[in-house]
Amino acid sequence: MPEAEGPFERIPEPALQEVLVELGRLYPDADCELRHENALQLLIATILSAQSTDVRVNQVTETLFRRYRSAGDFAAADPAVFEQEIRTTGFFRNKTKNVLGAARKMVDDFGGEVPDTMEELVTLPGVARKTANVVLGTWFGKPVGVVVDTHIGRLARRLGITPETAPVRVERDLMNRLPRDQWISMGHAIIWHGRRVCSARRPDCGNCTLAGWCPRNGLPGC
């Protein structure tokens, strides 16, 4: 749902650096909230998280990851059964097609392993830059890009980092304005802040320690 906000106001570089310091102070342990024990589980959970919540996905994968332990297991799954196993995450037919298709490609082309490059990951069904960045950053520790989900897109505009709305353009601006060694940590921190303080409908500006730097503080839409 588009935000009813006024003209974009770019945050100056010195203020942006202070915002990054504050986000690091607020969320020193920020990490991906999708439960996983390996790259495969993280990849599957991230595909399932589209148009769903991490809480819901974690409820589903608690059982799912006990039944399916390898890419081969997922590749051999009965689609009709799998659809019902993930039904509550929403869009279950398309997600089933993507998960099982990605698993088959990993078995056929990558020895059953999750590839660790952007170029290879985005060849998997259901995997675009966002999902690839989650896996590369969270599991492999590779700052190839910046995860752009709804929280990051919203906060990047509210904080004056980018006027863009298209994820690819938002990511480009974040990569230009954030230090590369913070692409992973700040991605997680911004997501946590979006979930805990700066929500879409009711941002808690009164209790937000970023308010002093935020161009949207107290304005309509915030």
Catalytic residue check, 97: no
- Of 54, 130, 173, 181, the active-site residue reads 130
- Distance between CA atoms of 34 and 58, rounded to whole angstroms? 6
CA atoms within 13 A on the CB side of 83: 8
Catalytic residue check, 130: yes
Tokens 């966002």 sit on residue: 130
Tokens 């990993």 sit on residue: 106
Name the nearest CA neighbour of 47 among 98, 97, 103, 107: 98
- What are the angstrom distances between the C-alpha of 61 and each of 32, 75, 145, 210? 15, 16, 26, 34
47 contacts 102 by C-beta, under 8 angstroms: yes
- Of 54, 73, 116, 149, the active-site residue reads 149
CA atoms within 13 A on the CB side of 81: 8
- Distance between CA atoms of 51 and 14, rounded to whole angstroms? 35
Name the nearest CA neighbour of 72 among 105, 48, 96, 103: 103
Catalytic residues: 130, 149
